[in-house]
A = this chain, B = another copy of it.
Amino acid sequence: MFLQRIYVGIIFCMIQATSMVGQTSSFEVVPLGVKGGNDESNLSSYLVAATGSKQYIALDAGTIQAGLDKAVQQKTFAVPAIQALRKYIKGYCISHAHLDHVSGLIINSPADSNKTVYALPSCMNLMQQHYFNDKTWANFGDQGVGNFLKKYHFETLVPNQEIALQGTSMFVTPFVLSHVHPYESTAFLVRNGDAYLLYLGDTGPDAVEQGGRLLALWRAIAPLIQAQKLKGIFIEVSFPNEQPDKFLFGHLTPHWLMQEMQVLASLVGEKSLKGFPVVITHQKPPLANEQKIVAQLKAHNPLGLRLIFPQQGKRLVF
């Protein structure tokens, strides 16, 4: 009887430990901005770090300071915003050069510390030619036009090729997306050990954009989903379903997101996506549209995705 109790106790502990391992998160994400337009205080930017570390990479940089202020207000960060900017953010991965994804980086560059900016050639060229060009703004980088202030190392990425994210334990692989062909955007696949997180910049559906960029991405990540190594996908839904395809401007609707998820399901099996975390980014105001997007996604979610609607300054774990 005594031994039985010990056995039961040991088994109980093992179950608990297994369950805790299951719950252990690999990534922490702090959204600094979640909207797809208008409100300068809340534009796309997501800080990602290996769980427990304070070494963040910003995935896009539409709003930085106002998002950090919000995170500090909500006690997500215990240090002043300026310190979070300078100490916690180790680099920026920019998906494309539209200002709602990079304005915060530019505005905050004078106050920032030395770090790396990562982007594919198309995006890096636009930033160097039109933003950090010594005309519209000082060149805080170490390449491009004019006088180099060398605060930022401009690291031009190679599609599909993994690179270490300096100052962190993470790595990133960029994939080319289409955002009104031939304009390019980027998906960043972030790796921490053998755990992965996928962030997509703005993109339209393959059926509208053509070129099969999303299909190629889904094929690349399918094995990671099947191996349960991919912890979540951040993907945009800019407009409600009422938006006609010819006015998508390289964006997704709830309908088109679910279509693309069906393509992914055809590669990994529907069961693999049940309860899979999908974070919905880049909803465009007005508020009525944002509410419609949420309602439409919830109303038609045949795969049973775990839909997450991020809030500025509130930590998410994966």
Residue A66 CB within 8 A of the other chain = yes
CB distance from A186 to the nearest CB of B (A): 15
* A286: B residues at CB distance < 8 A: 82
Instruction: Contact check, A103 vs B40: say whether CB atoms are below 8 A apart.
Output: yes
In the bound complex, CA of A107 to CA of B106 (Å): 14
Instruction: Contact check, B40 vs A64: say whether CB atoms are below 8 A apart.
Output: yes
Q: Mark A109-149, 1 if CB is under 8 A from B, else 0.
A: 01100000000000000100111010111000000000000
* A66: B residues at CB distance < 8 A: 39-41, 66
Residue A185 CB within 8 A of the other chain = no
* A126: B residues at CB distance < 8 A: 135-136
Interface centre among A38, A99, A107 (most CB of B within 10 A): A38
CB distance from A102 to the nearest CB of B (A): 9
* A63: B residues at CB distance < 8 A: 40-41
Partner of A130, one of B38, B39, B64, B131: B131
Residue A281 CB within 8 A of the other chain = no
* A133: B residues at CB distance < 8 A: 130
* A75: B residues at CB distance < 8 A: none
Residue A108 CB within 8 A of the other chain = yes
In the bound complex, CA of A103 to CA of B103 (Å): 7
Residue A240 CB within 8 A of the other chain = no
In the bound complex, CA of A136 to CA of B137 (Å): 14
Instruction: Contact check, A40 vs B107: say whether CB atoms are below 8 A apart.
Output: yes
* A129: B residues at CB distance < 8 A: 130
Instruction: Contact check, A111 vs B285: say whether CB atoms are below 8 A apart.
Output: yes
In the bound complex, CA of A238 to CA of B37 (Å): 29
Instruction: Contact check, B41 vs A137: say whether CB atoms are below 8 A apart.
Output: no
Partner of A137, one of B69, B98, B110: B98
Instruction: Contact check, B100 vs A107: say whether CB atoms are below 8 A apart.
Output: yes
Partner of A38, one of B99, B108, B136: B108
CB distance from A48 to the nearest CB of B (A): 20
Of all chain B residues, the one with the shortest Cβ separation from A180 is B138
* A99: B residues at CB distance < 8 A: 99, 103, 106-107, 131, 136-137
- 16 contacting pairs across A/B (C-beta < 8 A): A38-B65, A38-B110, A38-B111, A40-B41, A40-B104, A41-B63, A97-B136, A98-B136, A98-B137, A99-B103, A99-B107, A100-B107, A111-B285, A129-B130, A130-B130, A130-B131
Residues of A with Cβ closer than 8 Å to B? 37-41, 43, 63-66, 69, 82, 97-100, 103-104, 106-108, 110-111, 126, 129-131, 133, 135-137, 285-286
- Beyond A40-B63, A129-B130, list 10 extra A-B contacts (CB 8 Å): A38-B82, A38-B108, A40-B104, A41-B66, A41-B69, A99-B99, A99-B103, A99-B137, A126-B135, A130-B130
